[in-house]
């Protein structure tokens, strides 16, 4: 096990990205719509974060909520989004797509990897929906992905720790396995011990109270706070990983 664990934070705004960096995160997964599982951020947000953040930025390429079986038009959108990320100087992208038979959509994913032009590629948790995780991992390696984000096919990384450990062993030095889903400062050390992984993914978010004062906001379904990565939550995760390494 590496003595230096890396922490990636799913950041859904410029404020979240800066909080993640302030808290000591090593990398950002930039997205929006965390409540929907994460969606592709706008070009404007990507540009903002690229200008302000000093840590690597991987952009989530997911055009809509719902399943990961995409149409030809959606793949065209995803390819254009990947190309935009490359043009904006992002270090990598986060992609995933499935065929209707419970396997990775290798053909279309190959096109997205090619569009990344040698930038880093993370395969997201579409992987967890595959019928055979071991076979899907071999496919991810063949596609040229550098890491897989996974909960081991379970609702959380802690629940899927045993499966993740098997994936880590299968991966060896060929690809990195990054546990994600339900990771926080109170369980990250245990997940690291049980899986043998050296990269971890979390959102470290808390809800910010709404600043809206319009009385009819709740009635119209237009009120409520926002979720934002919190620097103190990120720092607690980093400290838990460091304590595990000593």
pLDDT at 2 over 50: no
Cβ-based burial of 3 (10 A; exposed 0-12, middle 13-18, buried ≥19) = exposed
pLDDT digits (tens, 9 = 90+) for 58-95: 999 999 999 999 999 999 999 999 999 999 999 999 99
pLDDT digits (tens, 9 = 90+) for 15-74: 999 999 999 999 999 999 998 999 999 999 999 999 999 999 999 999 999 999 999 999
Domain ranges of the chain: 6-208+221-245
Report the predicted TM-score, pTM, of the whole model to 2 decimal places. 0.92
Q: In the Cβ-directed half-sphere of 234, how many Cα atoms lie within 13 Å?
A: 26
Please report, rounded to a whole number, the percentage of residues in the chain having pLDDT higher than 70: 91
Question: Could you tell me the pLDDT band of residue 208, with boundaries at 50, 70 and 90?
Answer: confident
pLDDT at 211 over 60: yes
Q: d(Cα 236, Cα 17) in Å, to the nearest integer?
A: 16
Sheet strands (E) in the chain: 6-11, 27-30, 57-60, 92-95, 120-123, 147-150, 176-179, 199-202, 205-208, 226-229
pLDDT digits (tens, 9 = 90+) for 152-188: 999 999 999 999 999 999 999 999 999 999 999 999 9
pLDDT at 246 over 80: no
Instruction: Determine the 3-state secondary structure of 180 from DSSP.
Output: strand
Q: d(Cα 48, Cα 12) in Å, to the nearest integer?
A: 12
Task: Give the pLDDT confidence score for residue 74 in this predicted structure.
Answer: 98
Please report, rounded to a whole number, the percentage of residues in the chain having pLDDT higher than 90: 85
Task: Give the pLDDT confidence score for residue 200 in this predicted structure.
Answer: 98
Among candidate residues 147, 166, 124, the one with its CA nearest the CA of residue 40: 124
Fold type of domain 6-208+221-245: TIM Barrel (3.20.20)
Instruction: Determine the 3-state secondary structure of 121 from DSSP.
Output: strand
Q: Are 43 and 83 in contact (CB under 8 A)?
A: no
Q: Are 26 and 2 in contact (CB under 8 A)?
A: no
Task: Give the pLDDT confidence score for residue 1 in this predicted structure.
Answer: 41
pLDDT at 216 over 90: no
Q: Are 148 and 178 in contact (CB under 8 A)?
A: yes
Q: d(Cα 29, Cα 14) in Å, to the nearest integer?
A: 12
Task: Give the pLDDT confidence score for residue 79 in this predicted structure.
Answer: 98
pLDDT digits (tens, 9 = 90+) for 101-128: 999 999 999 999 999 999 999 999 999 9
pLDDT at 196 over 70: yes
**Looking at residues 207-228, what average pLDDT do you find?**
66
pLDDT digits (tens, 9 = 90+) for 126-135: 999 999 999 9
SS (H, E, C) 87-108: HCCCCEEEECCECCCCCECHHH
Among candidate residues 53, 122, 123, 114, the one with its CA nearest the CA of residue 88: 53
């Amino acid at each position: 096990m590496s003595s230096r664990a890396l922490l990636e934070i799913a950041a859904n705004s410029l404020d979240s990205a800066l909080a993640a960096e302030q808290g000591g995160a090593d990398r950002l997964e930039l997205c929006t719509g965390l409540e929907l599982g994460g969606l592709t951020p706008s070009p404007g947000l990507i540009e903002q974060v690229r200008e302000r953040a000093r840590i690597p930025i991987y952009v989530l390429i997911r055009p809509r909520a719902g399943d990961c079986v995409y149409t030809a038009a959606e793949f065209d959108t995803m390819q254009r989004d990947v190309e935009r990320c490359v043009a904006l100087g992002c270090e990598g992208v986060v992609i995933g797509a499935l065929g209707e038979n419970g396997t990775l959509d290798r053909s279309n994913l190959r096109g997205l990897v090619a569009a990344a032009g040698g930038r880093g590629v993370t395969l997201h948790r579409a992987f967890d929906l595959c019928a055979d995780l071991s076979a899907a991992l071999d496919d991810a390696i063949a596609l040229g992905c550098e890491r897989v984000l996974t909960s081991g096919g379970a609702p959380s990384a802690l629940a899927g720790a045993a499966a993740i450990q098997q994936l880590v062993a299968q991966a060896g030095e060929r690809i990195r396995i990054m546990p994600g889903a339900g990771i926080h400062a109170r369980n990250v050390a245990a997940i690291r011990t049980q899986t043998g992984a050296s990269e971890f993914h979390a959102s470290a978010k808390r809800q910010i109270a709404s600043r809206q004062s319009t009385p009819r906001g709740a009635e119209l379904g237009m009120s409520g706070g926002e979720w934002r990565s919190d620097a103190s939550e990120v720092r607690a995760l980093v400290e838990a990983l460091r304590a595990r390494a000593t």
